[in-house]
């Protein structure tokens, strides 16, 4: 029951930030800038100044803290979700990561095994290049979820911090209105790749 509520609350958080971004007038040009998130332990490139949303999500008998940063350029939404697990919450890492992945992949009717993927790199706290798998999804039109064909690129990274628990990062680019475009071809071009490839943890 609690896990189902966590899934619903997480989806609601994404919807809220998407709605908030939808009413903001955005420039069609990209203005890449490094966004530092010291409290969440990362930095990356955003194509515009992101908005920030914080909330607590119920999971079993715990409150899990989540921070969302997102920016919208035309029909594209760039977002980073950060979830901090501390103390005994660290034990939830496999379950929460699995739930996050299920939330996203199920929208496209795929799973971790059959989704279209590509490896990319980010830098950890020691500035070492680390491999992360990116997933490319096509989300069909649905009366319940979305009124237009959508494309998504998503990457998950889990990072253990000494004496400070574990961070789970979900980097997502969502093209909210797509034609018959190939997700991997479109979402690996220079309009999107810097957002993923410039992720640095500290």
**Rounded Cα gap, residues 10 and 99, in angstroms:** 10
CA pair distance 87, 135, nearest whole angstrom: 30
User: Which ranges constitute the DSSP H helices of the chain?
Assistant: 2-22, 93-105, 183-187, 193-197
pLDDT in tens, 104-130: 999 999 999 999 999 999 999 999 999
Q: Are strands 33-37 and 200-201 parallel, antiparallel or unpaired?
A: unpaired
Q: What is the pLDDT of residue 179?
A: 82
Mean pLDDT of all residues in 123-145: 90
Confidence category of residue 183, pLDDT binned at 50, 70, 90 = very high
Q: Provide the residue range defining the domain that includes 123.
A: 2-201
Mean pLDDT of the 168-172 span: 98
Number of domains in the chain: 1
**pLDDT tens for each residue of 25-84:** 344 568 999 999 999 999 999 999 999 999 999 998 899 999 999 999 999 999 999 999
pTM of the prediction? 0.85
User: Does residue 134 carry a pLDDT above 80?
Assistant: yes
């Amino acid at each position: 029951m609690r896990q189902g509520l966590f899934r619903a609350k997480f989806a609601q958080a994404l919807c809220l930030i998407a709605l908030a971004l939808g009413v903001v007038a955005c420039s069609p040009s990209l203005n890449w800038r490094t966004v530092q998130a010291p409290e969440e332990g990362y930095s990356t490139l955003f194509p515009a100044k992101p908005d920030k949303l914080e909330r607590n999500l119920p999971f079993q008998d715990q409150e899990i803290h989540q921070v969302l940063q997102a920016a919208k350029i035309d029909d594209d939404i760039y977002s980073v979700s950060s979830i901090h697990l501390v103390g005994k919450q660290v034990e939830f890492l496999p379950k929460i990561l699995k739930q996050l992945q299920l939330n996203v992949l199920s929208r496209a009717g795929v799973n971790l095994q059959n989704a279209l993927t590509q490896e990319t790199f980010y830098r950890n706290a020691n500035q070492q290049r680390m491999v992360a798998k990116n997933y490319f999804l096509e989300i069909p039109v649905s009366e319940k979820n979305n009124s237009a064909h959508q494309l998504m690129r998503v990457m998950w990274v889990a990072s253990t911090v000494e004496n400070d628990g574990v961070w789970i990062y979900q980097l997502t680019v969502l093209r909210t209105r797509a034609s018959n475009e190939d997700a991997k071809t479109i979402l690996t071009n220079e309009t999107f790749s810097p957002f993923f490839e410039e992720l640095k943890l500290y």
